Amino acid sequence: MSPVRVQLLHVPDCPLIGRVRDTLEDCLRHVGVAVRVDELEGSYPSPTLVIDGIDVATGALPSREVCCRFDLPTCAQIVTALDRAARACEGRAPISREPLPQF
């Protein structure tokens, strides 16, 4: 059983990456899914959270255009994306249904 692949994409010194990182960490405390988080710094729309190849904020493939993003993913979007990714592969643990943190 391989973990769900999570990527945090950002440009160097992105002022918003900390907020996305904190939201992701808070959400991961409330789910029962094994994840592998890779943080990639480079020429990306920044910040972008990608779960199993899909941009969490848009539900589409990640853009390749470098820009500053303000459409940060919510905890609900992150949990939904983790749930979808976990269900896509048999044998992954179900997501906990504990109350989510409010942001």
* Residue range 55-101, pLDDT digits in tens: 999 999 999 899 999 999 999 999 999 999 988 865 544 444 444 44
Residue 101, domain member (yes or no): no
pTM score of the predicted model: 0.83
Domain count, the chain: 1
pLDDT at 22: 97
The pLDDT assigned to 33 comes to: 87
Domain contains 97 = no
With beta carbons less than 8 A apart as the criterion, state whether 70 and 17 touch: no
Model confidence at 39, pLDDT cuts 50, 70, 90, reads very high
What is the reported pLDDT for 103? Answer: 36
Which of helix, strand or coil describes residue 51? strand
In a domain, 98, yes or no: no
Tell me, yes or no, whether 33 lies in a domain. yes
* Arithmetic mean of pLDDT, 22-45: 93
Using a 10 angstrom Cβ sphere, with 0-12 exposed, 13-18 middle and 19 or more buried, the burial of residue 88 is exposed
Per-residue pLDDT band at 1 (split at 50, 70, 90)? low
Task: Write out the residue range of the structural domain in which residue 64 sits.
Answer: 6-91
pLDDT of residue 92: 46
Q: Return the pLDDT at 2.
A: 81
